[in-house]
Amino acid sequence: MRLVGLTGGIGSGKSTVSSLLAERGAVIIDADAVVRELQEPGQPVFDAMLSRWGERILQADGSLDRKGVAAIVFNDEVELRALENIVHPALRSEIQRRIEAQRPTDHVVVLDMALLTEKANPYDAGEIIVVDVPPDVAVARLVSRRGFSVEDAKRRITAQVERAERLAIADHVIDNRGDLADLEHQVDDLWRVIGR
């Protein structure tokens, strides 16, 4: 197994790079997808969140209202820490379980994780890929593709680890300010290095 970390700021196109790597044969462990699984009704993480914040975090169908949770924790440090204390231990355990399941294989395993930089690479990924765009490009994408306001996009970018800090840990940098064809070309070049 070759374990590679993939990170990038919001609006960088990290998910697109992850999909392109999967198309080339990588096994993807997507931290956001794992969190969504852990937050399904009936899961211990879901139950702990419901115990903390009550039914105000539920949608009509009984599933988690992610926007409602974000509204509670985004501007409240105490509540954010509470959420992290509920989610992060379970997330670390499940990601580690999935990595261990791949260890006997010869797969290239890509850990797709926005917080990889901030959490100091706890999974010992041998290499780190950083998907990078200038902040103005990220803002424009968040506004045009996700419907964020300019102010909200800037606030979310500012709340993340600084671009220079991400780039400082990179073994490979994907510059995603261009078009999809340019991105695919860069991913092909990267795959020639990390693929088997």
Whether 62 and 41 have beta carbons less than 8 Å apart is answered as yes
Instruction: Provide DSSP, 113-164.
Output: -TTTTTTT-TT--SEEEEEE--HHHHHHHHHHHH---HHHHHHHHHHSPPHH
Q: Tokens at residue 80, please?
A: 């954010």
Q: Tens digits of per-residue pLDDT, 175-196?
A: 999 999 999 999 999 999 998 6
pLDDT of 120 reads 54
* E strand or H helix at 108: strand 108-112
How many Å apart are CA 14 and CA 113, to the nearest integer? 9
- pLDDT value, residue 163: 85
Which tokens belong to 72? 């509670």
User: Is this model's pTM higher than 0.95 or not?
Assistant: no
Q: Is the pLDDT of residue 119 over 60?
A: no
Question: How far is residue 128's CA from residue 111's CA, in Å, rounded to a whole number?
Answer: 9
pLDDT-derived band at 121, boundaries 50, 70, 90: low
Whole-number pLDDT of residue 164: 86
CB 27 within 8 A of CB 109: yes
Residue 6: its pLDDT value, please? 95
User: So what's the pLDDT on residue 117?
Assistant: 62
